[in-house]
Every structure is written in structure tokens, then in C-alpha cells.
Amino acid sequence: MKKSLITWIGALSSAAVLMSSCASDPDSPGLEYMPDMYRSPAIEAYVDYGEVRARIDETKKVKLTAMTPPQFSVPYYGKDSALVDMMLPYRRLPNQLMKSTHGFYGERLSAADEYTLASADIKNPVMLNEKVLEDGKKLYASMCQHCHGEKGDGNGPMVTSGAYSGVPNYMEEPRMKLSNGQMFYSIYYGKGMMGAHRSLLNKKEIWTLVHYVRSMQYKDYLTAGMVSDTTQKK
């Protein structure tokens, strides 16, 4: 008798659960079993996580949120004057034609050919050393290699697969003669079919990439570049 009663109770409980998961609304998903396992919780992009429900988290108070900073504002990068100077807003502007080609709407644009003007920018502000080239290699592998190729010859997987074309070979003339500033400008704002990377990489990372590309172009770049930096510091 007890066994039969337990069976009936189990059956009724199962039926109740099944019935409660149904709804008259055909668009209702019903009850979800452990939704966090397959439904990612939404991130509140515009919340200051340094202060949530009157609780202060000092480690998050200086973190950037998804909000776009006001134009001309300068982000805080500590007290290292060289780093702060490097991270200041880029003094060169996108050309006005890039409004239609690269989507620069609502920004200050220049009527001048800023890319050509950048040929005068030859000094890379990032001090060259082996660690910089190691960091540059990682950035290149994640941001550039799929198009420009492992050797910078323009034969990345996107090109060899036939999905993309027109990627230049930066290991040949005359592109080896591009100034550091022109290379930075191209990565920062984009050039030709390449889009802007300024939202993906900060200025220090872009200058680090420039160093790495130079090291692919010139085999003695590390040694010669370090000597050059030392000379300039004196």
C-alpha cells in the first residue's frame, strides 16, 4: 500500500511539474531548467562597477566601461610622462574622404593628405627591446597575420583561401620605405580595404606592432634600433 501511494505521489508530482511548464501563451518558453547553463546573463554595459548598491570596489573604480568618452577627453594613464605623452589624442586626423570609405562620421576630418604628412613622423616612441618584439609578435599573430601573412608578404589565410585579395607585400619595395608614422597612421585609421584598428589597439600597442613589422623587414633591426635609441637618448 505504501509503495503504491509513493508511486501515485511521484506520478502526480511529475504531472504537476509537466503541467506547470506549459502555458496558454504559444510564445511562452515555459519554465526553464537552470537557464544559466545555456543563457548568458546580460552585462550592464553602462554601470559603474566601482560602486554597486552602495558597495565600493576600489579595484574597479578606474576601469573603463562601454561608454564612449567625451570627445577631446584624455584618459588617465598614470604618472609616467613618456607613456602619457604617447597616449594623448593622435595629432593627425583622418582625411575627409575617409568619412565615406571608413565610416568616420561625426569626427574632425582634415582636407590635407595626412597620410603623406605622416611620412615626417620617423621616431617610434616605444623604446625597442626584445620584450617589445615578443609583444609585437603576439599582437601581429592575433590582429594582422590572417591577412598579411606570417612573414608580412600579404599571403595570409584570408588571401590564400580566396576570400580576400589586394593585401600588399610589406617585405618589398617601396613599402619597406614607409615611415613609422605612415605605418602607424595606416593601422590606426585604416587604409584601402583595411579598417581602422584604433578601437582594438591602443597607441602603445600600435607602435609596438610597427617595431615588429620593421623587425621582419630588416633582420638586424633589433640591434641597430637599440643602438639608435641609445644614441638619441644621449
Helix H, strand E, coil C: the string for 197-218 is CCCCCCHHHHHHHHHHHHHHHC
Rg (CA), the chain: 27
List pLDDT tens digits, range 7-59: 767 677 776 666 665 556 777 766 666 666 666 655 555 566 677 777 888 87
CB contact at 8 A, 154 and 148: yes
What are the structural domain ranges in the chain? 81-233
DSSP alpha helix (H) spans, 103-202: 114-117, 130-143, 145-148, 157-160, 180-189
Residue range 81-233, CATH number = 1.10.760.10
pLDDT at position 39 is 62
Task: Find out whether 189 and 103 touch, Cβ atoms under 8 Å.
Answer: no
Q: Enter the pTM of the model.
A: 0.69
Q: How confident is the model over 61-120, as pLDDT tens digits?
A: 766 655 666 777 777 788 899 999 999 889 999 999 998 899 888 888 999 999 999 999
